Structure 1
Amino acid sequence: MAQEPRIDVALTLREGGAEPTRDELAELAGSLKPEVWFSTPLSSAEPAAAGREPDFTWDLVGAPYKGQAATGKAAVYLANSKFGIKRPFIFADGFNYGESDLPGLFAYFNQPYILGKAGFFDQLLSQGIDVIVLGFTERHTHIQANAEVAISAIQRTIAERVSRDPLTVGGVSMGGIITRYALAKMESDNADHETATYLSYDSPHNGAWIPLILQQMAYFFEDFTPAGPDGVKQADLIRSPAAQQLLWAWVENSKYSGPVATASELRKEFLADLARLGNFPRRPRLLGVSNGRRDGVGRPLPAGEVAFDWQALVASATARFQADKGEKKAIGGMHLGLAMRRSTTTEVPALDGAPGGTLDSFGKVADALKAKIAEEYRSGAFVPSVSAAALAFDPVKWDVNLNLSITDADLERGHLDEVAFDDDNTEHSHISVGLIDWIVERITG
C-alpha cells in the first residue's frame, strides 16, 4: 500500500553548542526583517495605471460564517458614468495577508503590458464593460467567509445594474477560488447569480505549494524576529485559515511530523464544502488562465539539492528544493542555540520545479535571513499548471503527473470549459500579452 505524503522532523541538540546570550539573540533579531513571509503585494511599474479614481465604492458585509461576518469593499469603474452599471465584470483579489489594496490591484492589472496598447481594465472599459474590483478586509481568513462578501458584491451589482446584461465574475489567485465557491453556493441556495461567465486567473483549483522547509523556517525563527505593524508576525500568513485551505501541503509548526496533505482540518472541511456544492458552478461558462506552461516543461531546479545555506553565529538554516517522492528524503534543517531541526519528506513530489505560476519563496526567505542565493534559485512553482487548469484529479492525493504535457483531451476531462496557458513559467499573477488578449476576446466577444 502506497504511503501518504508526510514530513518527519528530527529534534536534536547541537553537539558542542551553547544557548545564545541575550546580546546574541538581540543581534539575531536585528538581522531578521520584521515582515510577513510569503506575502505577495501587487504593484504597478507604471504610476499612470492608477490614475483613474473609481466612480464609487461599496462597503460590503457577508453573511455570517461560523458566527462571524467578513467584510470587504468593491471599487466600481463605469464604462460610461452617465449610464450606470450595464455590463458588469467583478474581479476579486487573491491570497495575501491583511486588507486588500484596491487602488493597487486596479493599477497592477491595468498597467500597459505592451507598447501602444491600453491596460487590461482600460480595454474592457473602452468596450462598454464596467469593472468592479473586489477586495476583502482580511484576505487571510476563511475562503467561505470571503465568499459571502463576494455574494454580497454580486447581489449589490444585480440590484444596481441598469440593464439585463449578465455578469462576468472571477478573480486572481485565491480570488478565483472565492468567486468559484460564491457562485456554486448561490446555485445551491437557489439564488440567481445572473452570471454568464466565470474567470480564474492563475487560481489554485486543486491547491497551491509553498515549500515545507520554508514554512518550518517561518515558524522556527518567528520568536526571534521583531513583530511588524499591529503586532503581525512573520508566520501569520502561513498559519492563517486561507493558507491552510489553499495549500496542498501544510505544517502547523516547525516540530510537526505527520501527513502533510491532510494536516489541516480546515482544508478537509473546505474541500468537503466545495464537493457538497458541486465543486464548480454549473450555469456559467468556465474560463481559466495559467501563468505556467502546458507542455510539461518546468523550472530547472535540481530536486533535493541545496537552494541556500545560511550560517550565523548562533543560528543556521539550510533549504533544499523538494525531493521527488521517495522515503525520508532530506529537505533541509535549521538550528538556534542548542535546538536543531532536520526534516525529511516521504512521497512528496518535486513541486518546486513543476510547470506553473511561480513565487520567489526561496528568495523571500533568503532575503529575510540575509542569506546568499543564486538568482536562478529564487523562484519555484506556486500554482502548478495542472492546478490552475483545474484538471480532474484528487486535490488531496494529487494523483497527477506534475510534468504532464497537457492535451486538449486532458482539458476536456477537466472542470473548466476553456483554459489558456502562458508561453513560459512566469510569476504568479503576471500580466501576459497572450493571457490578457485571450481574456479580452472572450469577455468582450
Structure 2
Amino acid sequence: MAEEARIDVKTLLQKAAGDLSAPELHDLARSAESGPWFGTPGVRSGEPARPPDYEWPLVSEHPYMGKYGKGTASVHLGNGHDRLVNPMIFADGFNYGPSDLDTLWQWFNMPYSDAGERLFDQLLAAGIDIVLLGFDSRHDYIQVNAGVARACIGKVIAERHGNTPLITGGVSMGGQVTRYALAAMEHDDEDHQTETYLSWDSPHNGAWIPLILQQMAYFFEFFEALTPGKAGKASLIRSPAAQQLLWAWVADARYSGPIASASPLRAQFVREMADLGGFPQRPVRLGVANGRGDGQGPALPPGEIVFDKKFLGGLVGSATARYQPAFGAEQPIGGMHLGLTARSSTTTAVAPFDGAPGGMLDSFGQVATALGIELEEAKRWSCFVPSVSAVALDFDPMTWEVDLEQDLREVSAEHTMLNEFCCNATNIEHSVVTPMLAEWVLRKIAK
C-alpha cells in the first residue's frame, strides 16, 4: 500500500520590524483583487456570439441534498433546420456563479485553424442542432446540476421532431455532470435516447490545482474586508464542485492532513458514481484530452520556485510558491506571510502534478496577477486535467496510484472507461479547441 498523500502546515508569529501601519496591510490585501480565483478560461475574441434560435429555462425534478438545480438551455438549430431534429447537448464546465452561454459559444467557435475553421459552425453545417446547457450555479454539487441535465435531456426528447438519437456531453465539469445524469437515468430505467456521449477535457478521475495556491486563496482572503454576498478569492475552491472534482483539496490555509480524503464530498461523489456503474453503458463513450498522450508533460521542474515575492522588503508580507515536488517526505511547496502571521507548507507522497501531461490552467498566473507579481508566461501555467484523467484511464480515483506520464497511445479498451479517445499533440490550455481535437470530433459525430 502506497504512503498516503498529505500536507503539513507550520504557523509562525512574525516579529514586526518597522512601522507596519494598517494602510500598508490594507493595500496589500486589496492588491489581491476580490473575486474567485482559479476560474476556467473565458473568451479572448471580441466577436459576438451567434444568437440562439430559442432558449429554455430548466428546473430539476431530481433534488440532491434537498436542492433543486436550475439552468438554461440555448438552442442553435443546424443549417436548414426550422425545428430540433439532430440534437447535441453540450454542458458548461467548472467555474463560479451562473453560466454565460454566449461566452461558451464564443469559446468553442473561435477559429482553430489558419483557414478560419470554427467547430460549432462546422457542426451546424453538418446538420447538428447544438443545445448549450448552462447552470444557475456552476459551483454547486455535480449531482444538483445533473438534475438540470436530466431536465434538459427530457426537454430535448419532447421537442425533437423525429427519432434521431441524442449526442450528450460537455466540457470540463460539464462532462461529469452529463456522465452522472445519463448513468442515473439508466439506473432509474429512464430512456435518455442518447447514442453518443462526448466529454471534452473532463476530469473523470479528478483535477489538480496546486495546493500552495489553494492555501494562498484562503490566506489572503482572510485579510480582505469582503462585501456581504460577494464571492471571495477562495469561494470557488471551497465550493461543492471543487471539493468533488479536485483530487487534492485543503479546507483552509492551516489544514494539515490527508489531501485526497480531506473532503467527504469527493469520496461520496466517487462512491455514488461507482454505484451508478461508473459511466452510462448504452451510449458510445467518446472523450478528448487537451494534454498529450505520449507521456510528455510540460517542462516544469518539480520543487522549483515559481515566484518568491517580498512586499515592502518582507516587512509587510511575502508569498512563495513552488511547483509540486515529486513525492518524498515533507517536501517544501511554499509559504505566505502577512502582518504578524506566517505559514509554510510541505507535502508528503504527492506526485509532481504541475508538470503532468494534461490540459493547462494559468493557476500560478492568476495568483501572481492578483498579488501584483510579475511572472513570465511559461511559469503561469500548470496541469489542471491530467491526460490520464481526461481519457478515464482505469485506476482508483481516490488513491491515484497511476503513472502520470503513462504512454496512452497503446492503451487498450479494457484499461479505459471510454470506447474511444483522442489526445492533443501538445499540452495546451484546458478546453481550447485545436485542429487535432476538432477534426477527430467531427469525424466521430458529424456523419
Q: Sort the TM-score into its range (normalised by shorter chain).
A: over 0.9
Are 2:439 and 1:440 aligned?
A: no
Q: Distance in 2 between matches of 1:236 and 1:216?
A: 12
Is 1:235 the counterpart of 2:234 in the alignment? Answer: yes
Q: Please give the alpha-carbon distance, in whole angstroms, between the structure 1 residues aligned to 2:257 and 2:81.
A: 59
Q: Percent identity?
A: 53
The whole-number CA distance in structure 2 between the counterparts of 1:305 and 1:116 is 40
Structure 2 unmatched ranges of 5 or more: none
Alignment of 1:49-60 (within 5 A): 50=49, 52-60=50-58
Output the aligned Cα RMSD: 1.6
Task: State the distance in 1 between where 2:225 and 2:444 align.
Answer: 47
Change beyond 3 A, Cα 1:416–1:138: same
Shift of 1:374: 2.6
Deviations 1:248-293 (A, max 9, x none): 0000000000000010010011001101100100000000000000
* Structure 1 residue aligned with 2:382: 380
Q: 1:435 to 1:21 in 2, by over 3 A?
A: same
Cα distance between partner residues in 2 of 1:53 and 1:229: 34
Q: Cα gap change, 1:123/1:226 in structure 2, threshold over 3 Å: closer, same or farther?
A: farther
Partner of 1:428: 430
Q: For residue 121 of structure 1, report the CA deviation from its aligned partner.
A: 1.2
1:37 and 1:351 map into 2 onto residues whose CA distance is 19
What's 1:317 paired with? 319
What amino acid maps onto 2:246 in structure 1? L
Aligned partners of 1:82, 1:443: CA distance in 2, in Å? Answer: 18
Partner residue in 2 for 1:351: 353
Look up the match of 1:30.
Answer: 30
Q: Hey, what does 1:193 align to over in structure 2?
A: 192
Call closer, same or farther: CA 1:424–1:229 in 2, change over 3 Å: farther
Listed as ranges, the matches of 1:11-50 within 5 Å are 11-15=11-15, 17=17, 20-45=20-45, 47=47, 50=49
Shift, 1:128, TM fit: 1.1
How far is the alpha carbon of 1:125 from its aligned partner?
1.0
- Give the corresponding residue for 2:335: 333
Code of the residue aligned with 1:4 in structure 2: it is E
User: Which segment is superposed worse, 135-144 or 410-419?
Assistant: 410-419
Per-residue deviation at 1:44?
4.6
Of 206-215 and 107-116, deviating more is 107-116
**Paired residue type of 1:145:** V
Please state how far the C-alpha of 1:408 moved relative to its aligned partner.
Answer: 2.7
Q: 1:332 to 1:222 in 2, by over 3 A?
A: same
State the shift of 1:13 in Å.
1.6
Shift of 1:377: 1.0
Shift of 1:156: 0.2
| Contact preservation (8 Å) 2:35, 2:230 | no
Letter in 1 for 2:352: A
Residue 72 of structure 2 is matched in structure 1 by 73
Does structure 2 conserve the Cα–Cα contact (< 8 Å) formed by 1:19 and 1:338?
A: no
Shift of residue 80, structure 1, vs aligned partner: 4.9
Residues in 1 aligned to 2:106 and 2:339: alpha-carbon distance in whole angstroms: 45
1:103 aligns with 2:105: no
1:10-409 matched pairs, under 5 angstroms: 10-15=10-15, 17=17, 20-45=20-45, 47=47, 50=49, 52-62=50-60, 63-80=62-79, 83-225=82-224, 227=226, 230-313=229-312, 314-409=316-411
The TM-score with structure 2 as length reference comes to 0.96
**C-alpha contact (below 8 Å) 1:28/1:224 kept by paired residues:** no
CA contact (8 A) 2:359 2:429 kept: yes
**1:5 maps to what in 2?**
5
Tell me the distance in 1 between the aligned counterparts of 2:131 and 2:59.
16
Of residues 120-129 and 39-48 in structure 1, the stretch that sits farther from structure 2 once superposed is 39-48
Q: Does the aligned pair in 1 maintain the 2:29–2:220 contact within 8 Å? A: no
User: d(CA) in 2 for partners of 1:35 and 1:229?
Assistant: 12
Confirm or deny: 8 A CA contact 1:323 1:329 kept in the other structure.
yes
Deviations 1:49-74 (Å, cap 9, x if unpaired)?
x1x21110000011221111110000
Which deviates more from structure 2 when the two are superposed, residues 383-392 or residues 120-129?
120-129
Deviation at 1:41, TM superposition (A): 4.0
Q: Secondary structure at the match of 1:442?
A: helix
Write the distance in 2 (CA, Å) between the matches of 1:405 and 1:19.
56
Q: CA deviation digits over 1:25-45, x for unaligned, max 9?
A: 222233222221111242152
Distance 1:332 1:236 in 2: 22
Listed as ranges, the gaps of 5+ residues in structure 1 are: none
Distance 1:438 1:218, change over 3 A: same
Answer whether contact 2:187 2:276 (CA < 8 A) is retained.
yes
Counterpart of 2:398 in structure 1: which amino acid?
A: V
Q: Is the 8 A contact 1:198 1:284 kept in 2?
A: yes
Could you tell me the TM-score, scaled by structure 1's length? 0.96
Range that drifts further, 35-44 or 201-210: 35-44
Between 63-72 and 93-102, the greater mean CA deviation after superposition: 63-72
Q: Is the 8 A contact 1:177 1:205 kept in 2?
A: yes
Asked if structure 2 preserves the Cα contact closer than 8 Å seen for 1:209 and 1:383, the reply is yes
CA-to-partner distance for each residue in 1:344-390, whole Å, 9 max, x for gaps?
00000000000000001011101110112232111000000000010
- How many residue pairs match? The answer is 443
1:301-347 alpha-carbon deviations (Å, 9 max, x no partner): 11011000111131111001100011000000011122111100000
Distance 2:130 2:262 in 1: 38
Deviation at 1:46, TM superposition (A): 5.3
Distance of aligned partners of 1:228 and 1:180 in 2 relative to their CA distance in 1, 3 Å threshold: farther
Structure 1 position 179, deviation (Å): 0.4
CA contact (8 A) 1:391 1:411 kept: no
Distance 2:81 2:427 in 1: 42
| Aligned-partner Cα distance in 2 for 1:356–1:424 | 9
